[in-house]
Structure 1
Amino acid sequence: MKLGSLKEGGRDGTLIVVNRDLTRGVRATTVAPTLQKALEDWSSIAPRLRALAEQLEDDKAVGSFELDTTALAAPLPRAYQWADGSAYVVHVELVRKARGVEMPPSFWTDPLMYQGGSDSFIGPNDEIEMADEAWGIDFEGEIGVMVDDVPMGISPQAARKHIKLVTILNDVSLRNVIVGELAKGFGFFHGKPATAFAPVAVTPDELGDDWNGARLDRPLISTLNGKEFGHPNAATDLTFDFGQLIAHAARTRHLEAGTIVGSGTVANRDPAVGCSCIAERRVRETLEGGKPLTPFMSFGDHIRIEMFNRAGKSIFGAIDQKVVRYTPPA
């Protein structure tokens, strides 16, 4: 089934069930008011949501409506935790190579992960508000999973069972801000503004054979200003699957229901498939020609990120955003 959240009912939105074609939805408030509440009691609530989803598919759901993605928040408009990994080490390797920095061997065995801001995610069509183009505005196409309660010290294999929903996201990054922050040796903060999510998150069964329990075997397509930027496959060159990422996040703490774990920028070693972020393309350009050619995003630019199943239908709906100038309050 496919689940989303309307921008109504408070900061956590209103939970809706969406049909497979992403054309109609129905409020699920008789089952659970929000997706967060559903994840906290998933074993009892999920069957009731699934029954509602079946009614919607059969056009028997009372109160169903035509889906308007501009009315959607992120599936989880805010979360108790947002842990973003860097599961495609080939991406990290390229970046460090361009800087002339050797990559520690441990990067291939111990996942990189940072704790991002989760108090205010944005919806699939919400604008990317930025005060300054000089910040180096970039998109990052990623896969994300949402879990129920995960015990500390769990194994990667057991962690797979806690994945309840899968989605895609745009982890907006400010590259020129990040450089200064990393130089301080204390990680990201200003360089990682609000993250945008697809219209819906889906249960793993919706993915069929393309989901092996911990990784998604489909291309992630990024389109910048109407031109395809990249279509790397999310299973190719994946160093750490979601079982490993969740186990890493839970090494010294319990993960609360509603925690979101991200894959990091989807990247393949083959340059022919393109990239899921501008920074990687700039690195490849530097390695090939001595300097980057592709500029970071400017006001007015559009980014679209989407994934399709083997039948050519959108799985999660599209993240479709415009970069706009933000003017701080006086």
Structure 2
Amino acid sequence: MKLATYKDGSRDGQLVVVSRDLSTAHYATGVAARMQQALDDWGFISPQLQDLYETLNGGKARHAFPFDPKQCMAPLPRAYQWADGSAYINHVELVRLARNSEVPANYYTEPLMYQGGSDDLLGPCDEAVFGDEAWGIDFEAEVAVVTGDVPMGCTPEQALDGVRLLMLANDWSLRNLIPDELAKNFGFVQSKPATAFSPVAVTTDECAGAWVGGKLGLTVQSQWNGRTVGMCDAGQEMTFHFGQLIAHLCKTRNVRAGSIVGSGTVSNRAVEKDGRKDWVRGYSCIAEKRAIETILDGKPATGYMKFGDTIRIEAKGRDGQSVFGAIEQTVSSLRT
């Protein structure tokens, strides 16, 4: 099934069920008013939401209305936690190679992960507001999962049983603020602003066989200012699947229902073409494009985003239909 959260003036919005083709929706108020409510009692509530979903898809829901992504908050507008991994080792290798730095050996056996802010998550069409273009504004196209309760010390296989929903993320980064924060050896704060999520979150069965072994085998499309810059396969080259990411998070603590875990920037390797490497699938963040330019030409040529720039992130199923709807954001200046 497909779920979304509609704006209603409150912090947590109203839970809605969305049809498979994203054309219509129906308030889930009679079953659960909020997404977190459904996650807290998933075993009891999700079958009722599924019944409403099937009724909606059958055209028999009496109070259905046209679905409008612009009315959506993030599917989970504020979460108990947002932990973002770096599951695509190719991304790490490119960034490290561009600055002549080796990838530590344990990066291949244990995922990188940081704890992001989860109190203010952006809807798919919300403006992305920043104080200064000089901060190095960059999008990051990712896949994310929403979990149920997952116990401390679980195995990766057990962790996968805790996946409730899938969605897309735009994990904004302020690249020029990152070096000073990393130099303090205490993690990201100012360089990782609010993350945006797709209009709908979907159960794994909605991915038509593309969800296999904790990986989503779909193409994540990124369009910057209307130009396609990335058509990256989210499954093929994912070094650590979501079970491994969640288990990493659970090594020393329980993870509770309503936690969001991200994949990190979706990234694919180059192919050899006429004796030269060619990244035919493009990129899912500008930092990776700049790393590629540095590797090939000795210096980056592509600048970061400017006020007024747009980014669109979407994934289509094997039937050509949008699975999650699209993240469509405009970069805007903080108005003081």
How far does the alpha carbon of each residue in 1:8-43 deviate from its partner, in whole angstroms, 9 at most, with x for none?
162111100000111111100111111111011101
Counterpart of 1:235 in structure 2 is 235
**Partner Cα separation in structure 1 for residue 299 and residue 171 of structure 2:** 25
How do residues 307-318 of structure 1 correspond to structure 2 at under 5 angstroms? Answer: 307-318=315-326
CA contact (8 A) 2:213 2:241 kept: no
Q: CA–CA distance in 2 between the matches of 1:301 and 1:280?
A: 18
Equivalent position of 1:297 in the other structure: 305
Taking only the aligned residue pairs, the percentage that are identical comes to: 54
Corresponding residue for 1:104? 104
For 2:195 and 2:13, how far apart are their aligned partners in 1?
Answer: 16
Question: 1:1-330 alignment to 2 at 5 Å?
Answer: 1-8=1-8, 10-270=10-270, 271-328=279-336
8 Å CA contact 2:154, 2:251 repeated in 1: yes
Unaligned runs of 5+ in 2: 271-278
TM-score (norm 1): 0.98
Counterpart of 1:157, as a letter, is E
Displacement, 1:4? 0.3
Unaligned stretches of 5+ residues in structure 1: none
* 1:28-72 deviation line (CA, Å, top 9, x unaligned): 011111111101110110000000001111122132111111110
Looking at structure 2, the residues matched to 232 and 67 of structure 1 have their Cα atoms a distance apart, in angstroms, of 27
The alpha-carbon deviation at position 213 of structure 1 amounts to 4.1
Deviation at 1:310, TM superposition (A): 1.1
Quick check: 2:208–2:318 contact (8 Å CA) kept in 1? no
Letter in 2 for 1:315: V
Once residues 236 and 33 of structure 1 are traced to their aligned partners in structure 2, the CA distance between those partners, rounded to angstroms, is: 37
In 2, Cα distance between equivalents of 1:107 and 1:137 = 26
Q: For 1:62, what is the secondary structure of its paired residue?
A: coil
For residues 209 and 66 of structure 1, the distance between their equivalents in structure 2, rounded to whole angstroms, comes to 28
Higher strand share: 2
Q: SS where residue 294 of structure 1 aligns?
A: coil
Shift of 1:183: 1.2
- Secondary structure of the residue aligned to 1:167 is strand
SS in 1 for 2:142: strand
Counterpart CA distance in 1 for 2:93 and 2:187 is 18
Q: CA–CA distance in 1 between the matches of 2:9 and 2:50?
A: 22
Q: SS in structure 1 opposite 2:144?
A: strand
Q: Which amino acid aligns with 2:323?
A: I
Choose 53-62 or 272-281, whichever is displaced more. Answer: 53-62
Instruction: State the Cα distance separating 1:101 from its structure 2 match.
Output: 1.2
Cα distance in 2 between the residues matched to 1:219 and 1:306: 8
| Greater than 3 Å deviation, 4+ residue runs | none
Assess if the C-alpha contact under 8 Å between 2:15 and 2:28 holds in 1.
yes
Q: Quick one: distance in 2 between partners of 1:99 and 1:303? A: 27
Which region of structure 1 is more displaced relative to structure 2, 129-138 or 178-187? 178-187
What does the per-residue CA deviation read over 1:45-102, in whole Å, with 9 as the maximum and x for residues that have no partner?
A: 0000000001111122132111111110000000001010000011011111111111
What TM-score comes out, normalization by structure 2 length? 0.96
Cα distance change on mapping 1:54 and 1:9 into 2, 3 Å: farther
Letter in 1 for 2:324: F
Give distance in 1, aligned partners of 2:90 and 2:112: 13
